[in-house]
Amino acid sequence: MAKITLSKLRHSYLPNPTSPADYALKEVDLDWSDGGAYALLGPSGCGKSTLLNIISGLLTPSEGQILFDDQDVTALPPDRRNIAQVFQFPVIYDTMTVYDNLAFPLRNRGMNEAMVSARVAEIATMLEVTDLLSAKAAGLSPDNKQKISMGRGLVRDDVNVVMFDEPLTVIDPHLKWKLRSKLKELHQKVQATMIYVTHDQTEALTFADQVVVMQDGEVVQIGTPEELFERPAHTFVGHFIGSPGMNVLSAEMRDGGAFLGEHNVALEGAVTAKEGTPQIGIRPEFVQIGDVGLPATVRKVSDIGRHSVVEAMIGDTSVKAITDGAVPEQGAAVHLQFQQDQTRLYRDGWLATTGAAS
């Protein structure tokens, strides 16, 4: 187990990168403490897999350093870094039994058979695959295969970090949540530092203590799931996390206040940035439909189970609201009220108001 430090890390797949756009991964500085559960969240192509491969050593970064427990490992190959990785598609050794699969990383490191069998038995119990140990790995179902490839990562007790690269992609939906909670449980048991890469917000938010949200090769926010939900530092985070995502509304700044069309919108606190395109961000959960507030026309109502999502137009701007109560009819004139302590201003995408609490 180890603390992981990424220092001034940058990577480009081009030989001579010049502009920032040439970098698949823009400068990253991160500190991950020993034994934590972390997630890298972002859409496809945001650089999260690049970052993961740099940590595992499959890729050497163009610039910067990776430190495990303050030791520079940037130049070390994957097998010398003592890491484990679980891939998107389960990697298992087809011709071996489940037992041999789990024992493989240990035997390769010259561990004696008695210790190997003790370790394998322990991990098999944890993963609930003890009854499969003598079966050929080739015949397993996808979720069991993925369990075995996780097992191969966890079986070594000296791993610095276990990494998961979208491990649930090929798993049936009804088994996904099962494996997901298994993983959370495993993390609590083995106390290893774990990094989970995904584009699925549910996976990231349920697994991790801390989530790193990435976009276009850049880390946009690092925080607990609550922080990401409650105070998105960037409109991208607001939009990407939550279902539906945060309303991001083009606004105008005049007379020291923010305006949506001709209506003044009260913000949570003082505006910190003077420059940049202003946008108002508010989550649909904090928009109330009532008799007071901004006048709007209901355009669409969708029932999403326990709640309804009401899409209303304030002028040309569409605003989504989540409501449990009575749902207005399509075309009805309503008033929308923004909860003030959840109404924020963003400039050029970045959060530009101070919170009431902080």
Q: Under the rule (CB under 8 A), what is the footprint of another protein?
A: 56, 58, 77-79, 83-85, 87-89, 91, 93-96, 104-105, 108-109, 139, 149, 152-153
Q: Beta strand 83-86 with 308-314: parallel, antiparallel or unpaired?
A: unpaired
Considering the complex, what minimum distance in angstroms separates the CB of residue 181 from another protein?
24
Tell me the C-alpha distance between 129 and 141, whole Å: 12
**Of 74 and 210, which has the nearer Cβ to another protein?**
74
Nearer to another protein, 156 or 347 (CB): 156
Q: How far is the CB of 21 from another protein (least distance, A)?
A: 25
CA 300 to chain centroid, in Å, comes to: 30
Give yes or no for a cis peptide into 15 (omega within 30° of 0): no
Nearer residue to another protein within complex by CB, 20 or 139 = 139
Q: Measure the CA–CA gap between 50 and 222, rounded to whole angstroms.
A: 18
The tokens of 166 are what? 């979208």
Query: Rounded distance, CA 104 to CA 152, Å?
Result: 8
Picking from 243, 159, 149, 247, the residue whose alpha carbon sits closest to that of residue 205 is 243
Q: Which is nearer to another protein, 80 or 189 (CB)?
A: 80
To the nearest whole angstrom, how small is the minimum distance from the Cβ of residue 187 to another protein? 19
Q: Which is nearer to another protein, 108 or 250 (CB)?
A: 108
> Of all helices (H) and strands (E), which one includes residue 276?
none
CB of 77 vs another protein, minimal distance in Å = 7
How would DSSP label each residue in 229-286? Answer: HHS-SBHHHHHHSSSS--EEEE-EEETTEEEETTEEE--SS-B---SS-EEEEE-GGG
Please, which residue, 85 or 343, has the CB nearer to another protein? 85
Phi, psi angle pair for 251, to nearest 5°: -130, 175
Distance CA 253, CA 246 (A): 20
- Check: CB of residue 179 under 8 Å from CB of residue 143: yes
Shortest reach from residue 177's CB to another protein, in Å: 24
The secondary structure element, H or E, covering residue 209 is none
* Integer angstrom CA distances of residue 173 from 143, 178, 202: 11, 9, 13
Least separation in angstroms between CB 183 and another protein: 18
Q: Which is nearer to another protein, 136 or 184 (CB)?
A: 136
Cβ nearer to another protein, comparing 104 with 259: 104
Q: What minimum distance in Å lies between the beta carbon of 70 and another protein?
A: 22
Cα separation, 152 vs 103, whole angstroms:
8
Q: How far is the CB of 137 from another protein (least distance, A)?
A: 11
Written as six digits, the tokens of 275 are 């420059």
